[in-house]
Amino acid sequence: MLIPLVQGIRKFAMSAAQKPQIVFVLGAPGSGKGTICKNIVENYKFIHLSAGDLLREEQNTEGSEHGDMIKEYIKLGKIVPVEITCGLLKKAIEKSGASRFLVDGFPRNQNNLDGWEKVMSQCVDVKFVLFLDCSEEVCTERCLNRGAQGSGRTDDNLDSLKKRFNTYSNETMPIIKYYEGKGMVERVDSNRTLPEIFEDIKKIFTPFISQS
Ligand SMILES: Nc1ncnc2c1ncn2[C@@H]1O[C@H](COP(=O)(O)OP(=O)(O)OP(=O)(O)O)[C@@H](O)[C@H]1O
Ligand SMILES: O=c1ccn([C@@H]2O[C@H](COP(=O)(O)O)[C@@H](O)[C@H]2O)c(=O)[nH]1
Ligand SMILES: [Mg+2]
């Protein structure tokens, strides 16, 4: 599966006038990644790609060879192998043809990072990581509310949330630290109200857009 993925991206890279710019959006489950990305898209020229949404879509695609595996991984809060997730992201980036993307909820572990770098690093330009920093307590309450309001997500329950937080602490935090070490992390306290968060988002994205 990895070989056609690499070939496809090379073809894409050759035809692109400029490398697409990528901002990774990371944070705990329920930290507000999807909500904040929606706000960014309303105010700045970005395409929002949620890795979780792409996986849920794939899971529900009739005849998908990965559907059952994705379903199981999501319920257990485990990270799906990068070949699948990166393949879906690559396809969405190519299809869109846009120049700026918010990649929400990826890379989530070392396997994701290695796979992304192997396949995408030559063809896209990762500008920075937006890190939505939010306490487990606040995040849990938000996800449980989202479940109670009928999200339909199989992982908006206490049992799955415990597992998702474990995965986040053990596997995703080291990736955020890795980017921090490279001076690439913009941290926003997302325990606060949306207007407060959006003020900080403006301070990050307005200069970024005017400089790039
Ligand atoms: N700052 C906030 N204050 C109050 N509620 C919020 C805030 N940000 C997001 N929410 C709500 O919390 C829930 C989770 O938000 P969202 O879906 O954006 O998080 P997420 O990080 O994408 O979560 P996941 O990782 O589970 O996909 C949603 O119901 C959303 O409306
Ligand atoms: O890169 C990714 C992104 C997500 N997953 C799986 O999906 C769920 C839900 O993701 P959300 O971002 O919360 O929508 C996540 O817990 C993982 O099981 C993944 O494997 N890889
Ligand atoms: Mg989300």
Q: Which CATH number covers residue 148?
A: 3.40.50.300
Q: Evaluate: CB of 23 within 6 angstroms of ligand 1.
A: no
Q: Is residue 139 one of the residues assigned to a domain?
A: yes
Q: What pLDDT was estimated at residue 13? A: 45
Q: Evaluate: CB of 30 within 6 angstroms of ligand 1.
A: yes
86: confidence class by pLDDT, cuts 50, 70, 90 = very high
- Centre of ligand 2 to C-alpha 207, Å, is 30
Mapped onto helix, strand or coil, the DSSP state of residue 204 is helix
What total number of domains does the chain contain? 1
Alpha-carbon distance of 200 to 21, in angstroms, equals 21
Q: Evaluate: CB of 30 within 6 angstroms of ligand 2.
A: no
Q: Is residue 172 one of the residues assigned to a domain?
A: yes
Ligand showing the shortest atom-to-Cα distance for residue 133: 1
Q: What pLDDT was estimated at residue 48? A: 98
Helix (H), strand (E) at residue 104: strand 100-104
Q: Evaluate: CB of 27 within 6 angstroms of ligand 1.
A: yes
For 27-70, how does the pLDDT look when each residue is reduced to its tens digit (9 = 90+)?
999 999 999 999 999 999 999 999 999 999 999 999 999 999 99
- Centre of ligand 1 to C-alpha 176, Å, is 19
For 122-161, how does the pLDDT look when each residue is reduced to its tens digit (9 = 90+)?
999 999 999 999 999 999 999 999 999 999 999 999 999 9
For 192-208, how does the pLDDT look when each residue is reduced to its tens digit (9 = 90+)?
999 999 999 999 999 99
Alpha-carbon distance of 176 to 129, in angstroms, equals 8
Q: Is residue 11 one of the residues assigned to a domain?
A: no
ipTM here: 0.99
Containing structural domain, residue 35: 21-50+97-211
Q: Is residue 14 one of the residues assigned to a domain?
A: no
Whether the CB-CB separation of 154 and 71 falls below 8 Å is answered with yes
Q: Is residue 16 one of the residues assigned to a domain?
A: no
Ligand showing the shortest atom-to-Cα distance for residue 52: 2
Q: Is residue 109 one of the residues assigned to a domain?
A: yes
With a cut of 50, say whether residue 163 has pLDDT above it. yes
Whether the CB-CB separation of 126 and 178 falls below 8 Å is answered with no
Atom 9, ligand 2: residue with shortest CA distance = 52
pLDDT, mean of residues 167-190 = 98
Ligand 2 atom closest to the CA of 160, numbered from 1:
16
Q: Is residue 92 one of the residues assigned to a domain?
A: no
With a cut of 50, say whether residue 181 has pLDDT above it. yes
- Asked if residue 29 belongs to a known ligand binding site, the reply is no
Q: What pLDDT was estimated at residue 2? A: 37
Helix (H), strand (E) at residue 189: strand 185-189
- Asked if residue 34 belongs to a known ligand binding site, the reply is yes
Q: What pLDDT was estimated at residue 212? A: 86
Q: Is residue 113 one of the residues assigned to a domain?
A: yes
Closest CA to 24 of 156, 176, 167, 128: 128
